[in-house]
Amino acid sequence: MAVKIGAMRSVEENGYLSDESDFYGDEVAKHELEEKASTFDVAEWWKCKIPTLMEIAEKNMKTDIVKESVKLYNPYEGRGEARQLSETVDDFLARLPPATTPFSSTIPWIFIANPYRKAPQRKDHDDYSRTGEGPPDERSEWGAFTVTGNRLLQELTQIRHTLEKKKPGKTKAAITREVNADKDRIVKEILDTAKNLHCTTGKWMLFCDEAEVNAVWSVVARATADNDLGIAAKVAPDDGQNRKPRLMCIYTKDFTDMKDVSRVLHKMKDLGLVNNREKPIYYKCDAYTYLELTSANPYNIKASLYSSKDILQAKTEKQLDSFFYKKKKKDEGDWRPLEWE
């Protein structure tokens, strides 16, 4: 008791516990505690720490507060074939289930937008979201792009016709090989024009069977509404052809932003929409869609820009960046869009 009373006097007189106090334990206990303190890794502890239920709840509450404070925007507002801000995602899915919603002139596609995308400030911007593709940037000049793009395609057609007249004995394959250099140049000009005029929206194209379309669309729609995927998504309604796969498009803002294009694809993989061991899916820019560059286009231009297989295999940002423009080995000064086999 004398030791404890002495220790208490030390607290009263000096305001702290003396080193002689057994409050800290005996010498062995103090040595063990000091050794633990000297080797304690704070960063590793935080890394491995399992959050408590209270911490999880607080984090979710903060996320909800941030989302509620954002002014929501819907480029498809007022359109019956799209989700409205006034309805929940569940209500939207129940109102327009793609498996049974018939195709019509008023419902050529079923749309949902990412409501957390910033609303455009310009009132006179080209609203190409009404033509069936991704919501445009407010700086987009789709009219000017379409004019320039078609002019470039006409130039490519004229080059081919000129070669055919000059070399009537040449085979079609030989003419195509001679035209390829001009084709690469013109494709680059088309993509550069799209970038310069802010016409950069594009989409990952996902096909699924009739029996799965409602379930897959539900995953895509919810992730889009929660700001987890891209800027918007759409799905084809029922056109009466039951055996035909349904197309879904998951839109991104900029086909030149490989980091974002890759992020959306990896999120699709996390959601179980893409499997890198199965048949790949492809990414197409809206610029090609507006120029009607389908897989059977007469210019022999690859209709898609990227493959999920190649993007998912990329290990570094440098590899990702190389997927948009790729240097020819024989001419380091010449560039062309990467074309997938």
pLDDT digits (tens, 9 = 90+) for 155-197: 999 999 998 888 888 888 888 888 888 999 999 999 999 999 9
Q: What is the pLDDT of residue 322?
A: 65
- Assign 31 a pLDDT band (cuts: 50, 70, 90): confident
Spans of all domains in the chain: 89-337
- CATH superfamily membership of 89-337: RNA Cap, Translation Initiation Factor Eif4e (3.30.760.10)
301-312 confidence digits (pLDDT tens):
999 999 999 999
Percent of the chain with pLDDT over 70: 74
Annotate 243-266 with DSSP letters as a single string. Answer: TSPEEEEEEES-TT-HHHHHHHHH
Q: What is the pLDDT of residue 272?
A: 94
322-333 confidence digits (pLDDT tens):
666 543 433 333
CB burial of 32-53 (b: ≥16 within 10 Å; e: otherwise) equals eeeeeeeeeeeeeeeeeeeeee
Q: How far apart are CA 287 and CA 207, in angstroms?
A: 21
**Residue 123 φ then ψ, to 5°:** -85, -20
Identify the helix (H) or strand (E) that includes residue 176. helix 172-196
Residue 84 has pLDDT above 90, yes or no: yes
